[in-house]
């Protein structure tokens, strides 16, 4: 009888020991889980690349070939002979100021000074369209027939009598730019008197639509530009871009975009938690998408490598 009583007393003790072991194991697993979670969180903090959104602006524009129409006055050689400028090309001179000389051959009067008939910039790029492409003639002129102008030619050292050798361009007068609007250019943006912008060598040329003429298979424009670089007075045919729209947004790497249910978005950090924010891709700049979205601003931080996060994750 005593043995049975002793055996019965040991069973509760074994149960209590097993319970204690299980409790200790559970506590150990829980502690390991907490430690592993913290370690993983630290690893994630190092892996996750979070940056502020970078504002971006880019232009949507169409390439156009432009014909420049300027207020220019030719000076012809009074005699044949050796020609040379006596001022630097591109400088502005006053009316009556000497700009060049022609040294005639023996027996034709020696050297002849050529004076500027008006104030303006000195230019030797002669294309023999100076007396045709004048601002005053634009209404009656079929400019499309003259768009393909031969390359600008400069006088050589020897010139002939009556040859146009230099011209004076009024760089203070407005510059007229003729072009044909691209087929895909939005016609609602073409209003006579409306503002248009051309881009040339990284510079914006803001102007007003002076003339709008609809012809067969083309739309002809003449844009009046008041402020322009002096370099343009030496040119006739120029490749430019006609600004269609100016796009603003934020540039992000393509890898930052995350698509959900057919909608593109980015992960942002909000109150140290990851949130998904839907965005619109408005274009590309330097090969990277430019996005816009509700609530986005330069103060918003986004996750550049979203593969390491999920919505709700804690981030620094």
- 66 against 155, higher pLDDT: 66
CATH code of 296's domain: 2.40.420.20
In a shared domain, residues 50 and 101: no
- Structural domain includes residue 164: yes
- Model confidence at 149: pLDDT above 60: no
- Structural domain includes residue 158: yes
Q: Quote the pLDDT of residue 217.
A: 83
Last residue of a domain, one of 171, 191, 219: 171
Kindly state the percentage of the chain with pLDDT values over 70: 84
Banded pLDDT at 133 (limits 50, 70, 90)? confident
- Structural domain includes residue 271: yes
In a shared domain, residues 124 and 83: yes
Q: Quote the pLDDT of residue 299.
A: 94
What's the mean pLDDT in 81-92? Answer: 94
- 67 against 20, higher pLDDT: 67
Of 28-37, 55-64, 156-165, 277-286, the one with minimum mean pLDDT is 28-37
Residue keyed to tokens 């361009």 = 169
Which candidate, 282, 241, 313, 311, places its Cα nearest to that of 65? 241
- Model confidence at 50: pLDDT above 80: yes
Banded pLDDT at 8 (limits 50, 70, 90)? low
Q: Quote the pLDDT of residue 42.
A: 57
- Structural domain includes residue 2: no
- Model confidence at 152: pLDDT above 70: no
- Model confidence at 122: pLDDT above 70: yes
Q: Quote the pLDDT of residue 106.
A: 66
Q: Per-residue pLDDT tens for 250-267?
A: 999 999 999 999 999 999
- Model confidence at 155: pLDDT above 80: no
The number of folded domains in the chain is 2
What residue numbers bound the domain in which 79 lies? 71-171
Q: Quote the pLDDT of residue 43.
A: 55
DSSP codes, 289-305:
EEEE-TT--TT-EEES-
Q: CB count, 10 Å around CB of 206?
A: 14
What's the mean pLDDT in 120-125? Answer: 94
What's the mean pLDDT in 165-174? Answer: 94
In a shared domain, residues 299 and 254: yes
Q: Quote the pLDDT of residue 153.
A: 63
- Model confidence at 12: pLDDT above 60: yes
Which candidate, 151, 162, 219, places its Cα nearest to that of 190? 219
- Model confidence at 312: pLDDT above 60: yes
In a shared domain, residues 167 and 76: yes
In whole angstroms, give the CA distance from residue 274 to residue 306: 10
- Model confidence at 148: pLDDT above 70: no
Q: Quote the pLDDT of residue 204.
A: 94
In a shared domain, residues 125 and 94: yes
CATH code of 105's domain: 2.40.50.100
Mean pLDDT of all residues belonging to the chain: 86
Last residue of a domain, one of 139, 171, 203: 171
For 50, the 3-state DSSP assignment is strand
For 134, the 3-state DSSP assignment is coil
Banded pLDDT at 173 (limits 50, 70, 90)? very high
Burial class (CB in 10 A: 0-12, 13-18, 19+), 178: buried
- Model confidence at 94: pLDDT above 80: yes
- Structural domain includes residue 184: no
In whole angstroms, give the CA distance from residue 204 to residue 207: 10
- Model confidence at 138: pLDDT above 90: no
Banded pLDDT at 52 (limits 50, 70, 90)? very high
- Structural domain includes residue 231: no
């Amino acid at each position: 009888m005593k043995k049975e009583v002793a055996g019965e007393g040991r069973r509760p003790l074994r149960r209590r020991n097993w319970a204690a072991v299980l409790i200790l194991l559970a506590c150990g697993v829980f502690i390991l889980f907490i430690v592993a979670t913290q370690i993983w969180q630290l690893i994630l903090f190092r892996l996750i690349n979070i940056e502020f959104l970078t504002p971006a602006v880019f232009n949507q524009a169409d390439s156009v070939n432009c014909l420049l129409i300027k207020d220019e006055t030719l000076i012809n050689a009074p005699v044949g002979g050796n020609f040379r400028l006596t001022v630097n090309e591109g400088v502005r001179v006053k009316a009556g100021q000497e700009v060049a000389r022609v040294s005639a051959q023996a027996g034709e009067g020696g050297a002849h000074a050529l004076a500027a008939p008006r104030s303006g910039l000195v230019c030797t790029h002669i294309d023999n369209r100076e007396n045709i492409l004048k601002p005053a003639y634009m209404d009656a002129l079929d400019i499309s027939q003259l768009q393909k102008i031969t390359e600008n030619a400069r006088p050589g050292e020897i010139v002939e009598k009556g040859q146009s050798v230099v011209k004076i361009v009024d760089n203070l007068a407005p510059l007229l730019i003729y072009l044909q609007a691209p087929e895909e250019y939005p016609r609602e943006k073409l209003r006579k008197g409306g503002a248009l912008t051309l881009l040339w060598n990284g510079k914006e040329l803001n102007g007003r639509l002076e003339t709008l003429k609809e012809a067969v298979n083309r739309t002809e424009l003449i844009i009046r530009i008041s402020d322009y670089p002096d370099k343009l007075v030496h040119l006739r045919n120029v490749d430019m871009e006609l600004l269609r729209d100016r796009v603003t947004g934020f540039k992000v790497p393509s890898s930052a975009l995350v698509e959900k249910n057919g909608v593109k978005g980015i992960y942002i950090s909000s109150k140290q938690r990851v949130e998904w924010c839907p965005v619109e891709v408005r274009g590309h700049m330097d090969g990277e998408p430019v996005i816009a979205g509700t609530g986005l601003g330069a103060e918003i931080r986004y996750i550049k490598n979203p593969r390491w996060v999920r919505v709700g994750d804690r981030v620094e």
